[in-house]
Amino acid sequence: MSHEGIRFVTEEQARREEAAHKELPREATEPLKVRVQKTEGTGMEIDWKDGHKSRWTFAWLRNACPCATCHEEREKAGREPGEPKPQATSLLPMYQAPPRPDSVAPTGKYAISFHWNDGHTSGIYSWDYLRRHCVCEECTAQRTS
């Protein structure tokens, strides 16, 4: 008997997936102000219409790319969005420039996209995705409780 297509999840995974699909209030996923600190190279900040503030580093954003390729690679490796790939241990690691966007553009009224300095351009970061992956202490605590 084949079990293809059947996926077994832990209770914790099921709870996280359920929370990820819960609809957020509109004010929670509509930005009031978006600041991308491209020149400074520090990251992006969003003030949401519900009064919440979120901040991400460019490294976190690049490691959380929501495109299908990056998402599948993270899932296979068991990494969460924003979690970096493990680096190979070698005597002389190759230098890799820190992630920075070469350009940033709005995608309709629902998202933002980055053209990264490593050549990657296919991720569309929806406001909903960003709010669900807010890395502030309050949001992180809510996801882990």
* pLDDT given for residue 3 in this prediction: 53
**Strands of 31-36's sheet, edge to edge?**
31-36, 43-48, 53-57
Domain holding 135, by residue range, is: 15-83+119-144
* pLDDT given for residue 74 in this prediction: 95
The verdict on residue 98 lying in a domain is: no
The verdict on residue 76 lying in a domain is: yes
Total domains in the chain come to: 1
pLDDT (tens place) for every residue of the chain, 145 residues total: 445 556 665 666 555 555 556 788 999 999 999 999 999 999 999 999 999 999 999 999 999 999 999 999 999 999 999 999 887 777 677 778 899 999 999 999 999 999 999 999 999 999 999 999 999 999 999 887 7
Which candidate, 136, 120, 139, places its Cα nearest to that of 55?
136
CATH number of the domain where residue 137 is located: 3.30.2020.30
Tell me, rounded to whole angstroms, the distance of Cα 101 from its chain centroid. Answer: 15
12 to 8, 16, 129, 133, 139: CA distances (angstroms): 12, 6, 20, 17, 17
